[in-house]
A and B are shown apart, each in its own frame.
Chain A
Amino acid sequence: MVWLSPDESEALHLSLSVALRSVAISAPAALAVAWLLTRRRFLGHTLLDAMVHLPLVLPPVAVGYVLLILFGARGPIGGWLERSFGIHLIFTRNGAALATAVMSFPLMVRAIRISLESVDRGLEDAARTLGAGAFDRFATVSLPLMLPGLLAGAITAFSAALGEFGAVITFVSNIPGETRTLPLALYSALQEPGGEHAAARLAILSVTLGLAGLWVSEWFARGVRRMLGR
Chain B
Amino acid sequence: MLDVAATKQRGAFHLDVRFESPTPGVVALFGPSGCGKTTVVNMIAGLLRPERGRIALNDTVLFDLDLGIDVPVEKRGIGYVFQDPRLFPHLNVAGNLKYAERRAARTAAIGFDRVVGLLELQPLMTRRVHQLSGGEKQRVAIGRALLSQPRLLLLDEPLASLDRERRDELLPYLETLRDQLSLPMVYVSHQFDEVLRLATHIVLMQSGGVAAQGGIGAMSLDPRLRAMIGPDAVGAVLDGTVIGRGAMGLLRVRLGEGEIQVIAAGSAVGTTLRVLLLARDIIVATQTPQGLSVRNSLKGVVSAVEDDGASDLVSIDIGGGTVSGGRGPTILARITKAATRELVLAPGKTVWALVKSVSLRDVTSSGFPHA
Which chain B positions have C-beta within 8 A of A130? 74, 79, 99-100, 103, 144-145, 148
Which chain B positions have C-beta within 8 A of A120? 86
User: In the complex, A144→B79 CA distance in Å?
Assistant: 23
Q: Which of A127, A145, A228, A230 contacts B99 (CB 8 A)?
A: A127
Q: Does B281 contact A (CB under 8 A)?
A: no
Q: Are B74 and A131 in contact (CB under 8 A)?
A: yes
Nearest Cβ distance between residue A101 and chain B, in whole angstroms?
A: 28
| Cβ proximity bits A207-230 to B, threshold 8 Å, 1 near / 0 not | 000000000000000000001111
Select from chain A the residue with minimum beta-carbon distance to B105: A131
Select from chain B the residue with minimum beta-carbon distance to A137: B74
Which chain B positions have C-beta within 8 A of A140? 99
Q: Are A145 and B79 in contact (CB under 8 A)?
A: no
Q: Are B86 and A133 in contact (CB under 8 A)?
A: no
Q: Are A229 and B99 in contact (CB under 8 A)?
A: no
Select from chain A the residue with minimum beta-carbon distance to B154: A129
Which chain B positions have C-beta within 8 A of A66? none
Which chain A positions have C-beta within 8 A of B90? 144-145, 227-228
Q: Which of A126, A136, A145 contacts B86 (CB 8 A)?
A: A126
Which chain B positions have C-beta within 8 A of A229? 89, 128-131
Q: Does B194 contact A (CB under 8 A)?
A: no
Q: Does B88 contact A (CB under 8 A)?
A: yes
Nearest Cβ distance between residue A131 and chain B, in whole angstroms?
A: 4
Q: Does B73 contact A (CB under 8 A)?
A: yes
Select from chain B the residue with minimum beta-carbon distance to A124: B86
Interface size class of B (residues with CB under 8 A): 20 to 34
Q: Are B78 and A129 in contact (CB under 8 A)?
A: yes
Which chain B positions have C-beta within 8 A of A126? 80, 82, 86, 88
User: In the complex, A141→B100 CA distance in Å?
Assistant: 13
Which chain B positions have C-beta within 8 A of A32? none
8 pairs, A vs B, C-beta closer than 8 Å: A120-B86, A122-B84, A125-B82, A128-B73, A128-B74, A130-B79, A131-B74, A131-B100
Q: A131-B75, A228-B90 are in contact. List 5 more A-B contacts (CB 8 A).
A: A122-B84, A122-B86, A130-B79, A130-B100, A130-B145
User: In the complex, A218→B90 CA distance in Å?
Assistant: 19
Which chain B positions have C-beta within 8 A of A125? 47, 73, 82, 86
Q: Does B236 contact A (CB under 8 A)?
A: no
User: In the complex, A229→B88 CA distance in Å?
Assistant: 12
Which chain A positions have C-beta within 8 A of B278? none
User: In the complex, A144→B89 CA distance in Å?
Assistant: 10
Q: Does B353 contact A (CB under 8 A)?
A: no
Which chain A positions have C-beta within 8 A of B79? 129-130
Which chain B positions have C-beta within 8 A of A36? none
User: In the complex, A227→B73 CA distance in Å?
Assistant: 30
Q: Are B148 and A129 in contact (CB under 8 A)?
A: yes
Q: Does B43 contact A (CB under 8 A)?
A: no
User: In the complex, A130→B128 CA distance in Å?
Assistant: 20
Nearest Cβ distance between residue A20 and chain B, in whole angstroms?
A: 26
Which chain A positions have C-beta within 8 A of B105? 131
Q: Does A132 contact B (CB under 8 A)?
A: yes
Q: Which of A139-170 contact B (CB under 8 A)?
A: 140-141, 144-145
CB-CB under 8 A for A132 and B74, given A126-B80, A229-B129: yes
Q: Does A123 contact B (CB under 8 A)?
A: yes
User: In the complex, A136→B90 CA distance in Å?
Assistant: 15
Q: Which of B96-120 contact A (CB under 8 A)?
A: 99-100, 103-105
Q: Does B45 contact A (CB under 8 A)?
A: yes
Q: Which of B73, B79, B131 has the most CB of A within 10 A?
A: B73
Q: Are B145 and A129 in contact (CB under 8 A)?
A: yes
Nearest Cβ distance between residue A226 and chain B, in whole angstroms?
A: 10
Select from chain B the residue with minimum beta-carbon distance to A145: B90
Nearest Cβ distance between residue B6 and chain A, in whole angstroms?
A: 18
Nearest Cβ distance between residue B109 and chain A, in whole angstroms?
A: 15
